[in-house]
Chains A and B, each alone.
Chain A
Amino acid sequence: MSLDKRYFGKSISRTDGHAKVTGEAKYAAEFNVPDLLYGYIINSTITKGEIKRINTEKAAALKGVIKVFTHENRDSTAWLNLKYADMDAPPGIPFKPLHDKKIKYNGQPIALVVADSFELARYAATIVEIEYDIEGHHTDLQRNLDQARAPKKGLASFFKPGPPKPKGDSNRAFENAAFKASGKFIHGMEHHNPMEMFASTVVYENGGKLIIYDKTQGAVNTQLYVANVFGKAFKNVRVISPYVGGAFGAALRPQHQLFLAVMASLDLKRSVRVSMNRHQMFSFGHRPATVQTTRFGADRAGKIQSLYHQAIGETSRFEDYSETVVNWANMIYPSENVKLDYKLVPLDVASPMDMRAPGGATGLHPIECTIDELAHKAGIDPVEFRLINYSSLDDSSGKPYSSKELKECFRQGGEKFGWDKRNPHPRSMQRDGKLIGWGMAVGIWEAFHLPARAEARIEIGGKLIVSSATADIGTGTYTIMAQIAADCMGMDVNNVEFRLGDTDMPLAPIQGGSFTAASVGMAVQAACIGLQGKLLRQAKKFKPDIFHNAKPEDIEFAGESLRIKGTASNMIPLKDIVASTGQKEIQSRKTGVPKAFKQRKYTRCAHSAVFVEVEVDEDFGLVKVTRIVNAVAAGKIINPKTARSQILGGMVWGISKALREESILDHRFGRIINSSLAEYHIPVNADINDLEVIFVDEDDSIVNDLQIKGIGEIGIVGVPPAISNAIFHATGKRIYDLPITLDKVMSK
């Protein structure tokens, strides 16, 4: 049975576009039910210590306030720490809301006011009186680097392997290198800040069954967490999440509004909604602050001789959140002498979390800036320098890449950008009295493929319904899965509907790490192939004159029909096959299984080459990114239209990471001082100029049969270093720390 690629690889408009432009798309806080109660969260204003006294009397006495929940009056939940571990929990003990009087970080939720209106709950929260016993805290990574230690290992280590063992003698090779470049890079803490704030609407049904509308990147993760923590049977916890207003990793773990809403709902036997406010969006996971050191050396010909990269990241006192920061350098650049080191410093902060391209976005910046400096010192063009050190092998493991069209990314990206017109000397290019800088960098991200399940069913009306409990956080899952299914079944995509975000659907992993398109895509294909088999079996019974001897290779699905290949008349409409069963539908559920044995022999990655132009006004320290060309090689692109948008988004994130965003702590208080969208700067429309995306065609039969690598993270990773390198080219000044704010540009 062949896959006719009528839609795969074609630009079609988002199938959920209509619902989103009309306001019909409903997000977690928008499922309104009768007699809904509203919960409002109270957060700790100290960083470490204990709650001495919490006086809820005044608040509880207000007419319309139903209950104020604290650690003193909440119902008991699971005893075992393990029960609180969700699918993305790092090693350690997960944070348990309202567990006891202990304060572990500033902003920790400590009470929930439940009232019959949102306004009343919010007001009542302001008159709850709390006294604390305050203990000393440590939140400053840079002042606690001496506490750095190796991260604990756990289940998460599968996705986030630690650094490989050292090779050769990186110190000596560095000392002996003809050209040397090194740097210390400091990144601040960042918060995801999706536009939709975290919310859970918990609908309490008779008999205690819960229907939970949650903001999540995995409905099944929410279900697992609620069932385990509150001791509910899975069948009594249904989680629905059809639309997610952005997440970027923040919704890979259940957040505390879910715990609090379920707790209140079960206690009061009522339906409850808890939404966070924007300030509270800074009260949980974040991209950790890091301090990184690099020392790279090359010989006279520009060949890299030595790579040293160390990263020290921040984590909480209770979980060891780790990410793959330092492994990339030797995956991109071969070297006989390599030392990579990754350590954590536990601090009095919330546990960090995966945030778009976790580890990669952090590590690629120092790596690619140090490479740029090395090329500069060697007097070699940055692209040429990377070509000198190019390899189709992953030197860190010795395995070949399943595919790597990075060279073509250099060529197509460079050509589009006009890289050959670059004057190599810093400060050499100017326009309208401003310095112009051209910089470039490489991006890389691993292509994962996880097992996932899907169901495909043909209904008697002729519609194909395909479903999987995955998510669409703006990534285009709805659209691309409909495209894959339509091709499999030879149907018009308008007759195909893909459904997701419901625990009643077949199991899918949480949506992250750029692995959804491949994992769920392969599951959809498997379910459709299963459905094809069932349709053929039924056709043999129903139309034996045509199909009696037909083998799978003799038939094809086209024009909403099953037919003998190459014939127009020996066919039967799919809906007639369904009708012939006397049933309403024919369905098939299947698992998409990764070919682990085949995959294991290769390193599988997407690559990118990013070219950036900046305009720098040195007097005011202003940096304007005037254009970016991002050439991406990521296997086959299912839908260039939605894929381009995803890469564009990654580029905006790259600009933001390089120049704008940082959660700033006042370490005296251990508190984030810019916890609002006015003060946590992300780009606005006027900050974004010419962005160009090129998809470089890439064949890869190793990653999966659909040749999908995933593109959620590859768009961002190369952008911050390319911007940094462009600023160096413009100004002659290396600014090592992110974000590159105007004070850093102005400082001598």
Chain B
Amino acid sequence: MEINENDVSSRMEEHSISIKINGKQITLKTQPWVSLLDLLRERLNLTGTKKGCDHGQCGACTVLIDGKRINSCLTFAIMYDQASVTTIEGLADEQLHPLQQAFIDHDALQCGYCTPGQICSAAGLLMEGNAHNREDVKELMSGNLCRCGAYTNIVDAIMVVKEGKNDSF
């Protein structure tokens, strides 16, 4: 590839990475300027992960990397060679994940656009083990905006899973 110092795009060579996504190991080529979010949505057709701001301000793009919740818009795909990524599409196995079912039961969604991020974030939150009560959950879920205003129902849904399934997290 011809390198032109003034042209950033000419330096965007593709690099090979091996990444486990929703339990499936895949090898693919990606340019350094591709965010993890755009890799998922535009190249792998995993559109369950949403783009709400592309600036780490809304949480709609939350995914789990090796069990930890992160904003996939704020990080480059190329950094995740050998990592394990779980998106909303990989949360359920045969049955819905308890959080997914609780979100339906408590109507913790309206337009549904922030929902995958909320659920992935809640899964990460429960694994972190830092939320001990309703107030903690509210605080620790405040990185995920919901413009429809489903917040109280979101907390209801998370509390049910947290209290019912404490051992599994």
Q: How far, in Å, is A194 (CB) from chain B's closest CB?
A: 6
- Can you name the residue of chain B whose Cβ is closest to the Cβ of A32? B45
Q: What's the Cα separation between A475 and B151 when bound, in Å?
A: 16
Contact indicator B88/A685 (Cβ below 8 Å)? no
Smallest CB gap from B154: residue in A: A685
Q: How far is the CB of B163 from chain A (nearest CB, A)?
A: 18
Q: Chain A: which residue is nearest B142 at the CB level?
A: A684
1/0 per position for A472-505, CB-CB distance to B under 8 A?
0111100000000000000000000000000000
B96 touches A686 (CB 8 A): no
Q: Which residues of B from 44 to 63 have beta carbons under 8 Å from A?
A: 45-55, 57-58, 60
Q: Are B49 and A23 in contact (CB under 8 A)?
A: yes
Is B111 in contact with A13, judged by CB distance below 8 angstroms?
no
Instruction: Say if the beta carbon of A682 comes within 8 Å of chain B.
Output: yes
Confirm or deny: B105 has a beta carbon within 8 angstroms of a beta carbon on chain A: yes
Do A685 and B52 contact each other (CB < 8 Å), given the known contacts A13-B107, A62-B9, A246-B148? Answer: no
Contact with B along A626-659 (1 / 0, CB 8 A): 0000000000000001101110111111000000
A63 to B139, CA, bound (A): 47
CB distance B50 to A691 under 8 Å? no
**B interface secondary structure, majority:** loop
A136 proximal to B (CB < 8 A): no
Q: Which of B128-169 contact A (CB under 8 A)?
A: 137-139, 141-155
In chain A, positions 100-144 with a C-beta closer than 8 Å to chain B are: 117-120, 123-124
A434, B42: Cα distance in complex, Å: 51
A195 touches which one: B46, B58, B151 (CB < 8 A)? B58
Shortest distance in angstroms between A189's beta carbon and chain B's nearest beta carbon?
A: 17
Which residues of the other chain, B, contact A13 by a CB distance below 8 angstroms? 104-105, 107
Partner of B139, one of A119, A278, A651, A686: A686
| Residues of chain B from 105 to 139 with CB closer than 8 A to chain A in the complex | 105, 107, 109-116, 119, 137-139
Bound CA span A687–B147, Å: 13
Q: Is the CB of B145 within 8 A of A682?
A: yes
Asked if residues B42 and A32 are in contact (CB atoms below 8 Å), the reply is: yes
A648 to B54, CA, bound (A): 27
Q: Are A245 and B111 in contact (CB under 8 A)?
A: yes
Evaluate contact between A682 and B147: CB separation under 8 angstroms: yes
Q: Is A196 an interface residue (CB 8 A)?
A: yes
A20 interface neighbour in B41, B58, B109, B142, Cβ under 8 Å: B109
Q: Distance in Å from the Cβ of B57 to the closest Cβ of chain A?
A: 4
* Residues 11-27 of chain A, each 1 if its beta carbon lies under 8 Å from chain B, else 0: 00110111111111111
Asked whether any CB of chain B lies closer than 8 Å to the CB of A677, the reply is: yes
A691 engages B147 (CB within 8 Å):
no
Inter-chain contact A195/B147, CB cutoff 8 Å: yes
Q: Is A243 an interface residue (CB 8 A)?
A: yes
A541 and B95 CA atoms in complex are apart in Å by: 46
A245, closest chain B residue (CB):
B113
Bound complex: CA A684 to CA B139 (Å):
9
Per a CB cutoff under 8 Å, which of A30, A476, A645 touches B150? A645
Contact between A641 and B52 (Cβ–Cβ < 8 Å)? no
Set of chain B residues within 8 Å of A476, measured between Cβ atoms: 110
Chain B residues with Cβ under 8 A from A648's Cβ? Answer: 149-150, 152-153
B109 touches A196 (CB 8 A): no
What chain B residues lie within 8 Å of A197 (beta carbons)? 51-53
Within 8 A of A (CB), among B1-40: 7-10, 12, 31, 33-34, 38
A261 to B37, CA, bound (A): 22
Chain B's nearest CB lies how many Å from the CB of A691? 5
Please measure, in the bound complex, the distance between the C-alpha atom of A683 and the C-alpha atom of B145, giving whole angstroms: 8
A727 to B37, CA, bound (A): 42
Please name all residues of chain A whose beta carbon is closer than 8 Å to the beta carbon of B71 when the two chains form the complex: none
Partner of B7, one of A62, A690, A691: A62
A278 in contact with B57 (CB, 8 Å): yes
Size category of the B interface is 35 or more
Question: Which of A23, A25, A124 contacts B87, CB < 8 Å?
Answer: A23
* Residues of chain B with a CB closer than 8 A to A649's CB: 110, 148-150
Contact B9 A195 (CB under 8 A): no
Question: What is the chain A residue whose CB lies nearest that of B97?
Answer: A21
Cross-chain contact of A645 among B8, B34, B110, B147 (Cβ < 8 A)? B110
Q: How far is the CB of A196 from chain B (nearest CB, A)?
A: 4
Asked if A64 is at the interface (CB within 8 A of a chain B CB), the reply is yes
Interface residues of A in 71-125 (CB under 8 A from B): 117-120, 123-124
Contact A248 B145 (CB under 8 A): no
A278-B53, A651-B149, A685-B155 known; A474 and B48 CB under 8 Å? no
Asked if B89 is an interface residue, CB under 8 A from chain A, the answer is yes
Contacts of A536 in B (CB 8 A): none
Interchain CA distance A247-B113 in the complex, whole Å: 11
Q: Once bound together, how far apart are the Cα atoms of A17 and B119, in whole Å?
A: 13
B79 contacts the other chain (CB 8 A): no
Closest to B49 in A: A23
Q: Residue among A13, A24, A686, A690 with the most chain B CB within 10 A? A: A686
Instruction: Say if the beta carbon of A262 comes within 8 Å of chain B.
Output: no
Indicate if A676 sits at the interface (CB-CB under 8 A): yes
With contacts A30-B47, A32-B45, A278-B55 taken as known, whether A21 is within 8 angstroms of B96 at the C-beta atoms is yes
The contact string, 1 if C-beta is below 8 Å from chain B, for chain A 151-175, is 0000000000000000000000000
How far is A642 from B108 in the complex, measured between Cα atoms in Å? Answer: 10
Whether A677 pairs with B103 at a CB distance below 8 angstroms is no
A244, CB-defined interface residue at 8 Å = yes
> B92 within 8 Å of A by Cβ?
yes
> Known contacts A17-B103, A194-B113: does B89 contact A22 (CB below 8 Å)?
yes
Contact B147 A193 (CB under 8 A): yes
User: Is B100's beta carbon under 8 Å from chain A?
Assistant: yes
**Chain B hits for A278, CB < 8 A:** 52-55, 57-58
Alpha-carbon separation in the docked complex, A710 to B146 (Å) = 22
Neighbour of B42 across the interface among A22, A118, A124, A685, CB < 8 A: A118
Q: Do A243 and B104 contact each other (CB < 8 Å), given the known contacts A32-B42, A118-B38?
A: no
User: Which residues does chain A contribute within 8 Å of B154, judged by CB atoms?
Assistant: 685
Which chain B residue lies CB-closest to A14?
B107
Q: Are A64 and B9 in contact (CB under 8 A)?
A: yes
**0/1 interface trace, chain A 609-632, chain B, CB 8 Å (1 if under):** 000000000000000000000000
8 pairs of A and B residues whose beta carbons are closest in the complex: A23-B48, A652-B149, A245-B113, A474-B111, A20-B112, A474-B110, A649-B149, A30-B47
Beyond A20-B109, A651-B149, A685-B142, 14 extra complex contacts between A and B, CB < 8 Å? A17-B109, A18-B96, A22-B91, A27-B50, A29-B41, A118-B42, A119-B34, A195-B60, A195-B113, A196-B52, A246-B113, A474-B109, A474-B111, A684-B142
6 contacting pairs across A/B (C-beta < 8 A): A14-B107, A14-B109, A17-B103, A62-B9, A117-B31, A677-B52
